Amino acid sequence: PKLVYDFAEGNKDMKQLLGGKGANLAEMTNLGLPVPPGFTITADACRAYLETGAVPDDLADEIDHHVHLLERKMGKKLGQADDPLLVSVRSGAAVSMPGMMETVLNVGLNDDSVNGLAHHSGTPRFAWDAYRRLIQMFGKTVLGMDGDVFEDAIEALKRAKGTHDDLDLDADDLRTLVGTFKQAVLEHTGREFPQDPRTQMDLAIEAVFGSWNSDRAILYRRQERIAADLGTAVNICSMVFGNLGMDSGTGVAFTRDPSTGQPGVYGDYLQNAQGEDVVAGIRNTVPLADLEQLDKTSYDDLMHIMATLEGHYRDLCDIEFTVERGKLWMLQTRVGKRTAAAAFRIATSLIDEGVIGTDEALQRVKGAQLAQLMFPRFDTSAAKDLVTKAIGASPGAASGQVVFTSAAAVEAAERGDKVILVRRETNPDDLHGMIAAQGVLTSRGGKTSHAAVVARGMGKTCVCGAEELDVNVAQGTITVRGTTLSAGELISIDGTTGEVFRGEVPVVPSPVVQYFEGTLAPDAGDELVASVHRLITHADEVRRLGVRTNADTADDAARARRFGAEGIGLCRTEHMFLGERRESVERLILADDDAEREAALAELEPLQRGDFLELLKAMDGLPVTIRLIDPPLHEFLPSMEELAVKVAVARERGSASEHDVTLLAAVERLHEQNPMLGLRGVRLGLVIPGLFAMQVRAIASAAVELRARGKDPRPEIMIPLVGAVQELQLVRDEVSRVLTEVGVDREIPIGTMIELPRAAVIADQIAEAADFFSFGTNDLTQTTWGFSRDDVEGAFFSRYLEKGIFAVSPFESIDREGVGALVRTGVERGRATKPDLKLGVCGEHGGDPDSIHFFHEVGLDYVSCSPFRIPVARLEAGRAAL
């Protein structure tokens, strides 16, 4: 296959092959926008390199060909002594991974061509600075040298000159520095800095390929659930320079505000600088609007191009650009990242502007974004001690102790402490700390700084550019207007307003939650709420999947109902046996004879009946699927180890109580090596006579009572962990008998969970004895993979994620190929027996966006999830139907 594409050969839909950056550079090139010429090496080439450790055979020839084309277009050659062609070598994967992979700029400079560049640009200082930047970047990223080697050399030189400012270093100084750098390369790597431009390019390309598997890239992918085997494309682009003087510069722009979604001119500009300087947040930028004063022509060109791009992509675009001596160049664009709030507001604005329809607007927002909008905010009425106000870069309300290093953040998080990571600026090495912290606060950099971009991507609260703060990492202090905050002190940061407070500020529910609760009207003037209302209403109109909730209490049921639940898909009745009732359960388990057992059941029955009354009342008129008791019995008994010790000690003293001795015998009898595979679910019902019958009587009589009160209770009875139709049939007979006794056998459906592979495979038989199925994908995942759902997360999942065996835990998001195939089988075979068999899912996956799309595809009737995830499920069910 073709491994290299000229920018003119690609387009925006070729992201998988050319990466996001390459595809969009191609798109802009073909739109006639000013993109410096170049070409893209495909992600296929990278994957081949990662698999074999060597670049594919044909790659060198293809690159030669494209270099020649580029040289012809530019009228100059790589390494040309009097006027060299210089290129950048940049990574660019199909999914954006900001700052995670490598870039090498100014490739093509060497001891000869640096003079040509000096002459041609008219500024020797610039040429020598470009050369030292090349050696520095090349040394770090390609040769794997420690960056401090270079930083220290710069510092030493500045000290010798008695200055703190890079700008005081003149051409001769930088020439000296180049000599020092080259010597350092030789000392640290045993080879000379390569003078041949093509060698520089080839090594840089390999380094970019290899950076796909850098530690930080791997960590980022795990965090963002990006597949481990995509690989990155590499863009070779002719250099343009924003650091040729004050008539040059570089910047970042958004076609709308990426934090609120409001239209307008947003971005940052930095005069006389290269792109990396802006993204790194090293120097402070000016607002993009100021460019109009600085360089009206470039500003007008940029505004025009931004309008073109928004019109073309029909969405918010973000842009990186450079001005070289008054000429504007586009270095990158993409449909821009945005906060959750901006996503909703932009989507509905675009409907109003006639750019997109409501279906497309719904496609543009995600369940995960809606979930973010449901986080609490700081209470505006609480007393607050404002420390400073800076840039709200990623919304949310976070409180925690001040920490200054990534390591401290990770340590604190492991202790269970909440922390705010405070830095002058962040860089990709801070990723661990950012993940561990509740929020991130930086004293430098704008909305496009590393901290801001990465925090937004992670949905983590971030305030940046808090220039009033003097952050002293070494001393562990922040000084601000005469006061000092030390490591360990509590602060709170508001990622929406940019405010920083001393102490912990109380939080209040988000307006979006208030809207779902029904306490804030959609037309009360909150634009975000209005957008959410419009899109979720549309989702409800188009979705086919029903949305129910998992709830065991009337409170949860009532909240879920306010959030839009259309019934209960799973009531876990074992949750009703905890607390004070544990003793009755203990008596039940210990019962020696029928009489004792019946007495224990008789104690439990009225309590259960009361539970069901409340639950059915809260969900009046809607289906309530009540699952008969499921978990292993030992969960209701004391720990075997502790009890054994207690009894042994008491025996020693001759004072062991008879109760403890009997209890211990029972605990030992019931002890299981693999309780998850043991006496649970239907097995329990078959082994303990009367237990299920008691629950069914409680359900049925609660329904009768409510009906007598004029209510409309709609219970459904569900049998868990069935693997054979005989199990289900036996229990079903008993359940039916009780229902007949109470006189409600016709109206209460009896169904089962499909949560064992065997059940899915013989679903055609099981359907004979079931009125409905609900897929229990938690247990189905556990038994299909053979992963203990209670143990794996800590034990080895992190390694599995690192190694790319899966990009996300199969307990979080359904494994379509394996577990999903069993769900599909269960659906097909179940419906082969009963074409209108009602099918749902009530495992954790019922609230997971990706999984919801899968359940829609396989034709389930509803998903069931925890109350707080109901809005997300409604939205995603709507999106799945489009």
Q: Please report how close the Cβ of residue 850 comes to ligand PEP at its closest, in angstroms.
A: 17
Q: Which two tokens stand for residue 288?
A: 């993009």
Tokens 């499909």 found at: 754
Q: Could you tell me the CA-to-CA distances from 347 to 452, 534, 538, 671 in Å, in that order?
A: 22, 10, 13, 56
Q: Please report how close the Cβ of residue 691 comes to ligand PEP at its closest, in angstroms.
A: 17
Name the binder of 867 from ligand PEP, Mg ion, none, CB < 5-8 A by kind: none
Q: Please report how close the Cβ of residue 861 comes to ligand PEP at its closest, in angstroms.
A: 16
Q: Please report how close the Cβ of residue 722 comes to ligand PEP at its closest, in angstroms.
A: 12
Q: What sign for the dihedral angle of Cα 720, 721, 724, 730?
A: negative
Of 478, 842, 860, 865, the residue at the interface with ligand PEP (CB under 6 A) is 842
Using an 8 Å Cβ cutoff, are 721 and 630 in contact?
yes
Name the binder of 777 from ligand PEP, Mg ion, none, CB < 5-8 A by kind: ligand PEP
- HSE on the CB side for 633, CA within 13 Å? 25
Phi, psi angle pair for 874, to nearest 5° = -60, -45
Q: Of 317, 842, 845, 853, which is the active-site residue? A: 842
Residues 779-798 that bind ligand PEP (CB under 6 A): 779
Choices 184-192, 581-589, 610-618, 770-778; region in contact with ligand PEP by CB under 6 A: 770-778
Question: What is d(CA 771, CA 133) in angstroms, rounded to the nearest whole number?
Answer: 71
Question: What is d(CA 557, CA 565) in angstroms, rounded to the nearest whole number?
Answer: 8
Of 777, 809, 825, 851, the residue at the interface with ligand PEP (CB under 6 A) is 777
Choices 92-100, 505-513, 532-540, 771-779; region in contact with ligand PEP by CB under 6 A: 771-779
Name the binder of 566 from ligand PEP, Mg ion, none, CB < 5-8 A by kind: none
- Does 865 participate in catalysis according to the annotation? no
Name the binder of 430 from ligand PEP, Mg ion, none, CB < 5-8 A by kind: none
Q: Does 630 bind ligand PEP (CB under 6 A)?
A: yes
- Does 842 participate in catalysis according to the annotation? yes
Site string for ligand PEP, 707-746 (x = CB under 6 A): ----------------------------------------
Name the binder of 249 from ligand PEP, Mg ion, none, CB < 5-8 A by kind: none
Nearer to Mg ion, 109 or 721 (CB): 721
Nearer to Mg ion, 797 or 811 (CB): 811
Name the binder of 260 from ligand PEP, Mg ion, none, CB < 5-8 A by kind: none
Choices 144-152, 199-207, 777-785, 832-840; region in contact with ligand PEP by CB under 6 A: 777-785
Question: What is d(CA 450, CA 427) in angstroms, rounded to the nearest whole number?
Answer: 6
Residues across the chain: 882
Name the binder of 572 from Mg ion, ligand PEP, none, CB < 5-8 A by kind: ligand PEP
Total residues interacting with ligand PEP, rule: CB under 6 A: 10
For residues 451, 452, 453 and 454, what is the CA-based torsion angle, rounded to 10 degrees? Answer: 50
Q: Which two tokens stand for residue 33?
A: 């926008």
Of 102, 566, 779, 848, the residue at the interface with Mg ion (CB under 5 A) is 779
Number of H helices, E strands in the chain: 36, 31
Nearer to ligand PEP, 496 or 777 (CB): 777
Q: Please report how close the Cβ of residue 640 comes to ligand PEP at its closest, in angstroms.
A: 22
Q: Does 572 bind ligand PEP (CB under 6 A)?
A: yes
Q: Please report how close the Cβ of residue 303 comes to ligand PEP at its closest, in angstroms.
A: 54
Q: Does 778 bind ligand PEP (CB under 6 A)?
A: yes
Name the binder of 231 from ligand PEP, Mg ion, none, CB < 5-8 A by kind: none
Q: Which residues pair with 751 in a beta bridge?
A: 718
Of 755, 815, 848, 861, the residue at the interface with ligand PEP (CB under 6 A) is 755
Q: Does 566 bind Mg ion (CB under 5 A)?
A: no
Using an 8 Å Cβ cutoff, are 717 and 750 in contact?
yes
Contacts of 88 (CB under 8 A, 6+ apart): 103, 104, 105, 106, 107, 235, 236, 237, 239
Cβ neighbours around 415 below 10 Å, total: 7
209-213: long-range contacts, CB 8 A cutoff, minimum separation 24: 209/45, 209/46, 209/49, 209/50, 209/55, 209/234, 210/49, 210/50, 211/91, 211/100, 211/101, 211/102, 211/141, 212/46, 212/50, 212/91, 212/93, 212/101, 213/50
Cα end-to-end span (Å), the chain: 34
Q: Could you tell me the CA-to-CA distances from 423 to 216, 430, 479, 596 in Å, in that order?
A: 18, 9, 13, 66
Total residues interacting with Mg ion, rule: CB under 5 A: 3
Nearer to ligand PEP, 102 or 630 (CB): 630
Residues 723-762 that bind Mg ion (CB under 5 A): 755
Mind giving me the DSSP string for 564-608? Answer: T--SEEEEEGGGGG-GGGHHHHHHHHH--SHHHHHHHHHHHHHHH
Strand-strand pairing, 263-271 and 103-107: unpaired
Which ranges constitute the DSSP H helices of 423-553? 431-436, 450-458, 511-517, 527-542
Nearer to ligand PEP, 381 or 674 (CB): 674
Nearer to ligand PEP, 721 or 801 (CB): 721
Q: Please report how close the Cβ of residue 550 comes to ligand PEP at its closest, in angstroms.
A: 7
Q: Of 66, 450, 533, 853, which is the active-site residue? A: 450
Question: What is d(CA 793, CA 801) in angstroms, rounded to the nearest whole number?
Answer: 10
Q: Does 848 bind ligand PEP (CB under 6 A)?
A: no
Nearer to ligand PEP, 629 or 872 (CB): 629
Q: Which letter does DSSP use for residue 528 in this model?
A: H
CA 513 to chain centre: 21
Q: Please report how close the Cβ of residue 843 comes to ligand PEP at its closest, in angstroms.
A: 3
Question: What is d(CA 567, CA 729) in angstroms, rounded to the nearest whole number?
Answer: 26
Amino acid at 111: D
Nearer to ligand PEP, 291 or 842 (CB): 842
Nearer to ligand PEP, 315 or 630 (CB): 630
Q: Please report how close the Cβ of residue 855 comes to ligand PEP at its closest, in angstroms.
A: 13
Footprint of ligand PEP (CB under 6 A): 570, 572, 630, 755, 776-779, 842-843
What is the set of active-site residues?
Answer: 450, 842
Footprint of Mg ion (CB under 5 A): 755, 776, 779
